[in-house]
Structure 1
Amino acid sequence: MMHYVIRRVLYAFPLLMGVNVLTFVLFFVVNSPDDMARMQLGQKHVTREAIDNWKQQHGYEVPLLWNAEEQGAGKITDTIFYRKSVGLFWFRFGISDSGRDIGADIRQRMWPSLALALPTLMIGLLVDIGFALLMVLFRETYLEFGGIVLCVMLMSVSSLFYIIGGQFVIGKVLKLVPISGYDQGLAAFKFLWLPVLIGVFSGIGSGARWYRTLFLEEVEKDYVRTARAKGLSEQRTLLRHVLKNAMIPILTGVVVILPLLFMGSLIMESFFSIPGLGSYTIDAINSQDFAIVRAMVFLGSVLYILGLLLTDISYTLVDPRVRLG
């Protein structure tokens, strides 16, 4: 098992390096520092002097990869790649183009993102699995057919409709909760339960259908027939055997999502004015703050690779075939 985990960890490093290099190419080769300066200055006719001043203020005045004017290690270290990209491996995100400490912003904003994402994930998981088990329990009946139709209807509606409709009905008409906003501590609950409810409800269609497919594959296998032949009820067979053996694909979906919870929900946080990492990224894109966008792209890649690594490790815990090699 340990060799398997070490091998997966070693696979992650070249992936992360490739993502970092690709991000550098997209942000500094395709879109040069001069282009960044022109977009930030926001003028039709920007002078060369204004561009050079902006680059000097934000650390973009040096060459991209090789500084021939420096001596020794300075030829590599005094470059944009070393200043802006190498530090990301040590989670030194630097200063944004607007002068803010990106690392401090991330540490502050990840908690609202987690406060929204974790309840949505946990409650949604329980609801989706429970609904899927009910459809499998009453398979080949009108109840299953009605559940499938309901799932398709829920999937066919855009998540924006749920957000806007929920804000209008629950927030404006019924006035049960504020339409948007956020507060610290327990006071944040009144701002969070509506987006959590909408997040869970909008995901029932796709989630329940996927879990239903997994469970239907399991109920036709020989071990389920054996359990029924020994006298186990259908309910106990589903909960004790089918659900347990379907945990590998369930873990695949859940564990990959866990690290990405830090990134927040771009749409949900923006509509509900929650100061998380999702709205932070949207604001950076709107203001063309490339330093923040680069940092969030790299952080998202790190978290996704971490999710894949956690998935591989979780396989060793639930599947003896992986653990034994």
Structure 2
Amino acid sequence: MLAYIIRRLLYAIPILIGVNLLTFALFFVVNTPDDMARMQLGVKRVTPEAIEKWKAERGYDKPLLWNAKAGGSAAVTDTILFAKSVRMFVGDFGRADDGRDIAREITTRMGPSLAIAVPTFVLGLFVAISFALLLVFFRATTLDFAGVVLCVAMMSISGLFYIIGGQWLVSKVWHLAPISGYGGGLDAAKFLILPVIIGVFGGIGASTRWYRTIFLEEITRDYVRTARAKGLPERVVLFRHVLRNAMIPILTGVVVVIPTLFMGSLLTESFFGIPGLGSYTIDAINAQDFAVVRSMVFIGSVLYIVGLLLTDISYTLADPRVRLQ
């Protein structure tokens, strides 16, 4: 097990380097440091001196990849790539183009993102699995058919519709929750109820269909026929045997979404005014703040790799027959 984990972690290094280089290349193909300076300065007729000053203050006055004027190792280290991207591998995210410390912003905004994502994830998982088991229990009946049609209809509706419709109905018409905003401490609960409900409701359709397909495949196995032959009730077969043996594919989908719990929801946080990592990323993209964008992409890559590793490890916990070599 330990050798497998070490090997997977070593595999992650070239992946992170590739993602880092690709993000760097894509960003500077679209924008030059001069373009970034003009946008940040926010004036139509900015002087060349102001542009050069802005670039010098933020380290964008250096060459992108290779500094021919510098000697020795400085030809590589005294570049934008090394200063802005390579240092992330040691946890140095630097500062955003507006001067704020990125690591501090990430630490501060992680709380609101988790406050939305974790309840949405847990409740959504419980509701989807329960609904899927209910449909499988009444499979090939009118209830099953109606449930599948409902799931397909919910999948076909954009998540943006749920957000706008939920804000209008719950906040504007019923006045049950604030339409947007965020508060600290216990006051945050009233701002989180609506985003969590909308997040759970919007994901039921796709998740339920996925779990229903898994359970329907499991009930055709030999062990299910054996359990029925022994006289076990159908509910015991489903909830004790089918659910347990379906944990491998369920874990595959569940653990991989762990990165989204930390990265936040872009649409939800933006529309509800939640100061999380999702809205932070959207603001950085709109402002063309490369420092923040590449930091968020890097963190997302790290979390995704960790999620895949946890998925493999969780297989051995769900099914002892699985052994990592």
Instruction: Give the whole-Å Cα distance in 2 for the aligned partners of 1:197 and 1:21.
Output: 38
**Distance of 2:21 and 2:161 partners within structure 1:** 38
Report deviation, 1:45. 5.3
8 Å CA contact 1:8–1:312 kept in 2: the answer is: no
Q: Which amino acid aligns with 1:320?
A: P
Deviates more, 1:170-179 or 1:1-10: 1-10
CA distance in 2, matches of 1:12, 1:216: 36
**Counterpart contact for 1:110–1:276, Cα < 8 Å:** yes
Secondary structure at the aligned position of 1:320 is classed as: coil
Moved more, 153-162 or 95-104: 153-162
Q: Secondary structure at the match of 1:140?
A: coil
Match of 1:57 in 2: 57
Whether the 8 Å contact between 2:76 and 2:82 is mirrored in structure 1 is yes
Normalised by the length of structure 1, the TM-score is: 0.95
Q: Which amino acid aligns with 1:216?
A: L
CA-CA distance at 1:42 after TM superposition: 4.6
Task: Say which is worse superposed, 253-262 or 113-122, in terms of deviation.
Answer: 253-262
* d(CA) in 1 for partners of 2:30, 2:89: 22
Q: Give the Cα–Cα distance (whole angstroms) in 2 for the partners of residues 74 and 19 of structure 1.
A: 24
Aligned twin of 1:272: 272
Instruction: Give, in angstroms, the shift of residue 156 of structure 1.
Output: 1.6
The separation in 2 between residues aligned to 1:272 and 1:39, in whole angstroms, is 26
- Residues 256/68 of structure 1: CA separation in 2 closer, same or farther (3 Å cut): same
Per the alignment, residue 150 of structure 1 pairs with 150
> What is the match of residue 208 of structure 1?
208
Does residue 114 of structure 2 align to residue 86 of structure 1? no
Deviation readout 1:2-33 (Å, 9 max, x if unpaired): 33222222221111111111112122355332
| 1:135 alignment counterpart | 135
Partner of 1:121: 121
Q: CA deviation at 1:83?
A: 0.5
Partner residue in 1 for 2:179: 179
Shift of 1:321: 4.1
1:232 counterpart residue number: 232
Contact 1:116 1:192 in 2 (8 A): yes
Aligned twin of 1:76: 76
Match of 2:9 in 1: 9
- Provide the aligned C-alpha RMSD in A: 1.6
Task: Write the distance in 2 (CA, Å) between the matches of 1:182 and 1:42.
Answer: 28
- Displacement of 1:39 in angstroms is 3.4
Quickly say closer, same or farther: Cα 1:319–1:2, change in 2 above 3 A: farther
Could you tell me how far apart the structure 2 residues matched to 1:43 and 1:272 are? 30
Matched to 1:89, the amino acid is F
Report the Cα distance in structure 2 between the residues aligned to 1:36 and 1:108, rounded to whole angstroms: 26
User: Which stretch of structure 1 is more off in the superposition, 84-93 or 261-270?
Assistant: 84-93
Partner Cα separation in structure 2 for residue 15 and residue 102 of structure 1: 23
Shift of 1:46: 4.7
Code of the aligned partner of 1:54: W
Deviations 1:95-150 (CA, angstroms, capped at 9, x unpaired): 11111111100000000000000000000000000000000000011110111111
TM-score, normalisation: structure 2: 0.95
SS at match of 1:262: helix
Q: Which residue of 2 aligns with 1:168?
A: 168
Amino acid at match of 2:106: I
Instruction: Tell me the secondary structure at the aligned position of residue 216 of structure 2.
Output: helix
Is the 1:151–1:209 contact (alpha carbons within 8 Å) kept by the matching residues of 2? Answer: yes
